Amino acid sequence: MSTNKKTLMNVFVVMLVAVGLPGAWIAMSPTAFAEERVDAKLVVEDVLILPGKATQLKAFLYRDGLLGKHIGLGGEPIDFFVQTRLLGQTMTGGDGYAYLDYTPRLRGNLSITAKVRDSPRVSAQEGTGLLLVWERRRPILLVDIGALLPVDAQSDVMQSLISLSMGSDFLPEPNPEASFELEKLGEFYYNLVYLYRGNIESNHAVQSWLKQHGFPPGIPMMVQPGPKAFIAFLERMYEDGWENVSAGIGRTVEFAEVLVERRIQTVIIQETESGKRFPRRANVVTGWKKVRRHL
């Protein structure tokens, strides 16, 4: 394009801006889009799987919308890594989710990382999760999130987890002794499953909160409120091959009754006298320091 034509084009754009015509945005949009990228977030879902079984790694790329709604971003390239090893690339669908099939050979608590790959539309993002490849012979310990929280905050937090999705900063500071005791239990004997009553959209908030406060690796799982839902959850665990659920730590009578009925070793934390009647075979303790002696 000649210098005169470039000058005329610039004058035309300035005139359009001056009179407020939408054509100005059309003329300027290539440059604007090149400079401005969507401030997105990338969440990686934790996965629990038996060794040698095929699974899907899943990541969700989204931007925040009105009223806290998550709007998925489609057509973006995502790289998946396990333990820093690149497994492959895939694209997000129209709902913002990206999937990659994978069959783990290593055992243990492995890291999953997903990264946005060279996108001209989305800011560079990275998300992490856990790939928990557990063998059947190692026992599973169920930990109710309510047992990690201060007594005075428990009911409000549980109700919020049920009713809405929120950030991990909504959850209060945990009992300072809980992470240390669980670290010992997870290091020497148990695999850990963290249970929360809520909706599935609260999963990432719980996951982030556990990491933030240094809890040992484990998978957060949602259980609907009520004993029937808890029983159904355990039955699904057994159907999926996890018959080695051998112990649980919680606070409520419901939690104790369901586990004791199935002959699962149960520890209930009650810091003060509550007047609640727990099953006889449940071990009721006054604090986290006394948990390990019963497991």
Say if strands 55-64 and 85-91 run parallel, antiparallel, or are unpaired: unpaired
Domain count, the chain: 2
Q: What is the pLDDT of residue 77?
A: 95
SS3 content of the chain, % helix, strand, coil (to 5): 35, 30, 35
Query: Would you give the DSSP letter of residue 215?
Result: P
Q: Which of 251, 257, 226 is nearest to 175 (CA)?
A: 251
- 290 and 148 share one domain: yes
Last residue of a domain, one of 98, 133, 168: 133
- 149 and 121 share one domain: no
- 166 and 70 share one domain: no
> Phi, psi (5° rounding) for residue 201?
-70, -15
Assess if residue 286 is contained within a domain: yes
- 106 and 193 share one domain: no
Distances in whole angstroms, Cα of residue 128 to Cα of each of 52, 58, 169, 201? 22, 11, 18, 17
- 69 and 149 share one domain: no
- 121 and 252 share one domain: no
CA distance linking residue 136 with residue 244, whole number of Å: 6
Q: What sign for the dihedral angle of Cα 106, 109, 110, 113?
A: positive
Per-residue burial over 65-88, b if 16 or more Cβ lie within 10 Å, else e, is eeeeebebbeebebbbbbeeeebe
Assess if residue 174 is contained within a domain: yes
- 285 and 165 share one domain: yes
Assess if residue 50 is contained within a domain: yes
- 272 and 153 share one domain: yes
Query: DSSP string of 14-28?
Result: HHHHHHT-THHHHHH
Spatial neighbors of 231 by CB under 8 A, at least 6 apart, are 258
CA distance linking residue 57 with residue 113, whole number of Å: 10
The answer to whether residues 282 and 265 touch, using CB atoms and an 8 Å cutoff, is no
> What does the pLDDT average to over 114-125?
89
CATH code, 57: 2.60.40.10
Assess if residue 90 is contained within a domain: yes
Query: How many other CB atoms are found less than 10 A from the CB of residue 165?
Result: 18
Burial of residue 280 (CB within 10 Å: 0-12, 13-18, 19+) is exposed
Assess if residue 263 is contained within a domain: yes
Give the tens place of pLDDT for each residue, 127-165.
999 999 999 889 999 999 989 987 765 555 554 454 444
Residue 201's pLDDT band, with cuts at 50, 70 and 90, is low
| Range name among 5-9, 144-148, 236-240 with the lowest pLDDT average | 5-9
**Structure tokens belonging to residue 241:** 């091959």
Assess if residue 195 is contained within a domain: yes
In this prediction the pTM is 0.79
The answer to whether residues 167 and 212 touch, using CB atoms and an 8 Å cutoff, is no
CATH code, 252: 3.40.50.1000
- 129 and 144 share one domain: no
Q: What is the pLDDT of residue 118?
A: 85
Last residue of a domain, one of 107, 133, 159: 133
Give the tens place of pLDDT for each residue, 41-91.
999 999 999 999 999 999 999 998 887 688 999 999 999 999 999 999 999
- 149 and 243 share one domain: yes
CA distance linking residue 251 with residue 143, whole number of Å: 10
Residue with tokens 């059309």: 26
Domain interval for residue 71: 41-133
- 88 and 178 share one domain: no
Q: What is the pLDDT of residue 26?
A: 35
Starting at the edge strand found earlier in the chain, the sheet holding 77-82 runs 47-49, 126-133, 108-116, 77-82, 85-91
- 231 and 98 share one domain: no
Assess if residue 9 is contained within a domain: no
Residue with tokens 């104790």: 256
Residue with tokens 């002959």: 263
Q: What is the pLDDT of residue 25?
A: 34
Last residue of a domain, one of 116, 133, 150: 133
Q: Which amino acid is at 253?
A: V
